[in-house]
Amino acid sequence: MGETIKSLKGFQDVLPSESYKWQFVEKLALETAELFGFREIRFPTVEYTGLFNRSVGDTTDVVQKEMYTFLDKGNRSVTLRPEGTAGTVRAVIQNGLLNEALPLRLSYITSCFRNENPQAGRLREFHQFGVEMFGAQSPSADAEVIGVAHEIFERLGLKNITLEINSIGCPKCRKEYHRALKEYFEAYRDRLCPTCLERMEKNPLRILDCKSPVCKEIAKDAPIGLDYLCEECREHFEGVKKRLELMGLAYRVNSRIVRGLDYYTKTVFEFVSNDLGAQSTVCGGGRYDGLIETMGGSPTPGLGFGMGLERLLLVMAAQQIEVPKPSACQLYLGSVGEAAALKALEIVTQLRRDGYYVECDTMNRSVKAQMKYANKLDARLSAILGDSELESGKLNLKDMATGESIEVSFDELSEKIYEHWKKSEFEAMAEEFGDLFAQNGLD
């Protein structure tokens, strides 16, 4: 027997016992975004490395430390995508999507890759739901994008998710802020980590995002970006706040949010949860008005967010939010003998075409073993097909929960399964809302 091969550190399997939760969340997120006009886009896993160096920024931890970069067989430097925005922007420019009606609204579900220390809610391969909007410059666009994330959390029933917002200004007013940061951090030069010493010359704003405990402590008393906003950026930020209030979205201004990527301008935001420990951010994003131009497109404003699905599912589990379980097997059709097995296959094939989840024996098991398997499936109905059933064209259809059974012809199976399914649904609903009916004097 050969050596067992295991998954790489920081990469995990999603098993059937969990995958239905992912499917539920992904479907809900895409459908919610669609209500705001966002349409799904899909883009490659691998891109030229220059795409991320140019967009994400060469002073970020992502580019400096975390990207999976390698040479392909053509000796070209390529990278597994570390985030979703850069690939979306590249696809938008390359395919001329900005020639369509603006604003352009796109959504995606994608896997991303970062070579960092794995921990709860942060893996080396992780998954994001994201939205991007292009062509809209007004504060209303910021509020709408934030509203998509908020609506997803509302629909999932999540509690204690706090929206934190900030403005990091535009390139014009950020120059003054950078100058102030340099002056401040210069006094701590001998205590800053080597990475932050390099950042101090290229982009001192990145020091505020450093994970080093020493640098974090130093940064606590650094100048605040909001004090350096130009009039346009200040008005924009006030406009975002006004619209969030109009939409009924509570928020907290957090002047230390800068986000971990260089392309952000003006509005940045995060949704944070207390149920995740240190990794509290469930969703983060903001505006990136200069990114498309940097990537070779015409000057076009843009903004968006990325929502970590692993973290979202952890919050849901912590808050004990139930996800609808997959449909149980509606009929297990057992068989005895070759002729019956062939007829059973014919019957379940037609029932599946009618839209039912049904199974029959594929293991040549005994009847006892087949019924044991039907129990493990939690099948709602079962029947055994043998010589006498083949001759009569009828089955003894058994309710696995109550033990009750009725005789049904082969042609009636589809109808009877439907009747049983509707009856079970009604009984479950009556049980769930029974107390509510009683409280209102209803039978």
Q: CATH no. for residue 288?
A: 3.30.930.10
User: Is the domain of 304 the same as that of 356?
Assistant: no
Look at residue 292 and tell me whether its pLDDT is greater than 50: yes
Average pLDDT on 96-125 reads: 93
Indicate whether 141 and 280 sit together in one domain.
yes
- Give yes or no for residue 429 having a pLDDT over 70: no
What is the predicted pLDDT for the residue at 403? 93
* Among 16-30, 223-237, 393-407, 421-435, the least confident range: 421-435
pLDDT of 51 > 60? The answer is yes
For residue 157, tell me if it sits in a domain. yes
Per-residue model confidence (pLDDT) at position 387: 96
What share of the chain has pLDDT > 70, as a percent? Answer: 93
In a domain, 138, yes or no: yes
Residues 276 and 306 in one domain: yes
Q: Which one, of 348, 341, 354, 351, lies nearest residue 389 by Cα?
A: 341
- Which residues touch 206 (CB under 8 Å, ≥6 apart)? 57, 59, 60, 196, 199, 258, 262
Residue 66, domain member (yes or no): yes
Percent of the chain with pLDDT over 90: 76
Cβ-in-10-Å burial (0-12, 13-18, 19+) of 64 comes to middle
pLDDT class of 308 with cuts at 50, 70, 90: very high
pLDDT of residue 252: 97
Of 132-141, 172-181, 240-249, 254-263, give the lowest mean pLDDT range.
Answer: 254-263
What's residue 437's pLDDT? Answer: 45
Q: Which range scores top for mean pLDDT: 334-348, 403-417, 427-441? A: 334-348
Question: Contact 156/326 with Cβ under 8 angstroms?
Answer: no
pLDDT, residue 275, reads 85
- Domain membership of residue 38 as a residue range: 16-170+230-318
Provide mean pLDDT across the span 129-140. 98
- Is a pLDDT exceeding 60 seen at residue 433? no
At 76 the pLDDT is 97
Claim to verify: residue 299 and residue 369 sit in the same structural domain: no
Identify the pLDDT of residue 424: 63
Mean pLDDT across the stretch 249-263? 87
Decide if pLDDT at 432 tops 60: no
Question: Which of the listed residues 264, 297, 318 is the one where a domain comes to its end?
Answer: 318
Distance CA 313, CA 3 (A): 33
pLDDT at 431: 54
pLDDT for res 427: 53
Query: How far, in Å, CA of 60 to CA of 38, rounded?
Result: 29
Count of structural domains, the chain: 2
Domain final residue pick, 318, 342, 360? 318
Shared domain for 160 and 279, answered yes or no, is yes
User: pTM score, two decimals?
Assistant: 0.89
CB burial class (10 A; 0-12, 13-18, 19+) of residue 437? exposed
Regarding predicted confidence, which is higher, 161 or 64?
161
- Contact 130/108 with Cβ under 8 angstroms? yes
**Would the pLDDT of 204 be above 90?**
no
Q: What is the mean pLDDT of the chain?
A: 91
Is the pLDDT reported for residue 443 higher than 60?
Answer: no
Pick from 57-61, 132-136, 299-303: least confident: 57-61
